[in-house]
Structure 1
Amino acid sequence: MALAEGELNGFPANPYDPFCAMSCLRSLSSLMLDCSGMDGGTLGMMMMSTTSACWASNTPYLTSLSWCMHTKCAEFNIPNSKLEYFWETEATGQASAGVQTESAKWSFAEALANVEGPPSIQLQANDTWLNVTSLVSPEVYVMQWNVLTSVQRETSIENAYG
């Protein structure tokens, strides 16, 4: 989430809030979707990329993200209104980085309603594709959680002591 003008990270701004939702998002954001495309990279290398429009319309991504947010954020009692706000501002791209994003085809609640029971496929840390509603890799989720909470803590301390 974007910092308001004049806010310092940690006072009280937290661009990763809620950590559980951002960890879910980051656990899925590097995976290729059926609508991902090829971009010419540097030195003639081709790289896969996923646009905001692709994330916004891709059912496996939206249902996997909503299920992850629903299950991982439950233990922290994150209100649905906060999860909906996160969904609207972050789920389809990097709105916090000022990148234009598309609105998802469903709200958070609608995406969650389109999950037909708990997903039975568990992503692995080395998976590269997401083509069905899946559970995020526990290893990747914890890694993301640890990075986000550590960066936020470090930035808050840095801003407190200059």
Structure 2
Amino acid sequence: MAAVSQENTVDIRPATAEDWPGIWSILEPVIREGETFTWDRDTTEDEARAKWVKGAPGQTFVAVRPGAGDQILGTGEFHANQGGGGSHVANAGYMVGANYSGQGVARALCAYSLRAAKEAGFHSMQFNAVVESNVRAVWLWQSMGFRILATVPEAFNHPEIGYVGLHVMYQKL
């Protein structure tokens, strides 16, 4: 898939092996912070790569600023949420560099994944674990057509505020 411009200042393209150091520089602080992803806070770089890098029909992709080289602003991935009879439903995740928060990067990553997942043959997308206290993300996903199907109470142990719910969110592609 060719580079796709989602915002005036963000291009989204499939990730290459050379992108990994930039991707890891975004993933690691988010993982260590432990406030928005359900990954173990001590996940190693090799474990993160194995979890984040997806092959067809899924994909790993990056957001870059046009004309600014290959500086990675954010990254995302989508894959089949389940195997077998559930393989037509995509799941996705996104992480944005702290310096690029609030600049439309997450919106661009999500928009790209929705289109690319549909083109890959997925029928819908489901987020299994959106941390309830991550209100900016919850609002953003809702503004992009996702709806909360359920909230699992106290399913996430936030390092600062304690137990909070995890939303299951969904949209048809």
Does the pair score TM above 0.5? no
Higher percent of residues as helix: 1
What's the TM-score, normalizing by structure 1?
0.30
